[in-house]
Structure 1
Amino acid sequence: MKNLKHILFTLLITIATQQLFAHALWIETKSTGKIGQTQEVKIFYGEFVTNEKDSVAKWFSDVKEFSLWLTSPGKGKIKLNTTAGANFYSAYFTPEKDGVYILSVVHEPKELGGTTKYEFSSLATVAVGKTSAINTSEVSNAIYTSVSDSKIYNADVPVKIKAVLNGKPLANKNISVFSPEGWSKEYTTDKNGEIEFSPLWAGRYILEISNYEKTSGEHHNKNYTAFWQCGTSTFEVK
């Protein structure tokens, strides 16, 4: 009986962990903006490919206590105020000069998934003016994947994407690409941490990459034996 209870408990933990792995945090905003024009930003938690956007009340652990940061051209990093909606948080900022604006979230929930510590992170960029190249040296997320330029891409034209972990290219890792049509595919990065693919449909795409390591430590007075990180970003296609 004890063995049966142990098996059932392990199975429940495994199912819960798999469901949590499937979820991600992501930022949505327009890829381009204008000086003096207010830009809206939304943060969701759920599964993009199935259009599953969890209600804020059901977000895992304390994920809703994330911080949204904005790095502006020629300025430092500032924290934006966020407001809860039904299934997202929203924020606003107004570009003051040309350049690429970087929005970022990095959050480690207090709760563990079994004995695994989690880190959800997301990245979004907004290009104002003619400059669209993303300065990756200004990205502070430990893990991220992103297109090379903040712009609206064209369908059937190759898009270059890079993955980074702790400031170094993340080679031989799978990047998941999710389309607005429910299509998804995994691509493996080369030695430079890059992939290239041609989007087929117009709309918003999401990129997702994760890293799992067996490591131990203490997190909010609880011991963990593994660490899972997930990084997302989005881009638009016309």
Structure 2
Amino acid sequence: MNYLKSLLIVLLTAMGTNQVFAHALWIETDVNGKLNAKHEVKIFYGEYVANERDSVQKWYSDVRDFTLWLTTPKNEKIKLETKAGANYYGANFTPTQEGVYLLTVVHEAKELGGTTKYEFSSVAPVAVGKNAVISGSAIANPLHAIATEAKVYKVNSAVKVNAYLNGTAAQGKTVTVFSPEGWSKDFTVSADGTIEFLPLWPGRYVLEASNYEEKSGQHNGKAYTAAWQGATSSFVVSK
């Protein structure tokens, strides 16, 4: 009986760990903003490829306690207030200058998944005016993958993505592209820290970079033996 009980606990723990790996946090917002006009932002948690956006009450651990930051074109960092909806957290800001704004989240979950520590992060650009170039190396998130321009892309036109880990090119790491049609594909980051692909359908695409390391330490009084990072961004494609 004790053996069967222990086996069940192990299986349930593994299932829980796999579920965490399948989920991600991502930001959705219009990529183009207007001067002195309120700009809306939504933050979701779930599985984008399955079109699943979890109720905020079901978000893993304390992920709902994330902090949303806005970095202005002049590099000012502002904490934005968020408000819970049914399956998202909403926020807004009003651009007062031209340039590229960056919305960022980095949150280390309080609870471990088995003996793995989890970090969820996301970044979203908003371009106001003509400048749409995104400097990937200027984003503070430890891990991120983001399109090189803050714009609406076109079907069958190349999308180039920069991927960074701890301030340097994330060579050899995996970036998964999730399409609005339920299609996904893994790409390996090149030596210059990029991937490139052709979007085949219109709609919103989500990028997720991941990093897994076997390392030990203490997190909120509990021992961990591995650390996982999942970082997202998204962009829109039109016909």
TM norm structure 1: 0.97
Give RMSD over aligned pairs.
Answer: 1.0
1:26 aligned residue: 26
Letter in structure 1 aligned against 2:194: E
SS in 1 for 2:150: coil
Amino acid corresponding to residue 45 of structure 1 in structure 2: Y
In structure 2, list runs of 5 or more residues that go unmatched: none
Moved more, 175-184 or 82-91: 175-184
In structure 1, C-alpha distance between the alignment counterparts of 2:74 and 2:188, rounded to whole Å: 35
1:57-76 aligned at under 5 Å gives the runs: 57-76=57-76
Which amino acid in the other structure matches residue 171 of structure 1? Q
Equivalent residue runs for 1:167-186 within 5 Å: 167-186=167-186
Moved over 4 A (4+): none
Q: Where does residue 210 of structure 1 map in the other structure?
A: 210
SS class of match (1:140) = coil
Equivalent in the alignment of 1:77: 77
- Describe the SS at the equivalent of 2:111: coil
State the 1:135 CA deviation. Answer: 2.2
Give the deviation of 1:137 after TM superposition: 3.7
TM-score (normalised: structure 2): 0.97
Match of 2:11, SS state, is helix
> Secondary structure, in 3 states, of the residue corresponding to 1:32?
coil
Q: CA deviation at 1:109?
A: 1.1
Same amino acid, percent of matched pairs: 57
Deviations 1:17-59 (A, max 9, x none): 0011000000000111111111100000000011100000111
| Contact kept? 2:211, 2:230, Cα under 8 Å | yes
Q: Could you tell me which amino acid in structure 2 is paired with residue 25 of structure 1?
A: L
Listed as ranges, the gaps of 5+ residues in structure 1 are: none
For 1:124, the equivalent position in structure 2 comes to 124
Contact 2:35 2:95 in 1 (8 A): yes
Deviates more, 1:199-208 or 1:133-142: 133-142
SS in 2 for 1:12: helix
Aligned to 2:12: 12
Distance 2:202 2:23 in 1: 24
CA positional deviation for 1:223: 1.1
Letter of the structure 2 residue corresponding to residue 142 of structure 1: P
Deviation (angstroms), 1:75: 4.1
- Residue 7 of structure 1, CA deviation: 2.5
Partner letter of residue 77 of structure 2?
Answer: K
2: distance between equivalents of 1:9 and 1:75? 48
User: 2:4 & 2:200 partners in 1: Cα distance?
Assistant: 49
Report deviation, 1:10. Answer: 1.4
**Paired position in structure 1 for 2:91:** 91
Post-superposition CA distance 1:129-149 (Å, at most 9, x none): 010001234311000100001
DSSP-derived class of the 1:8 partner: helix
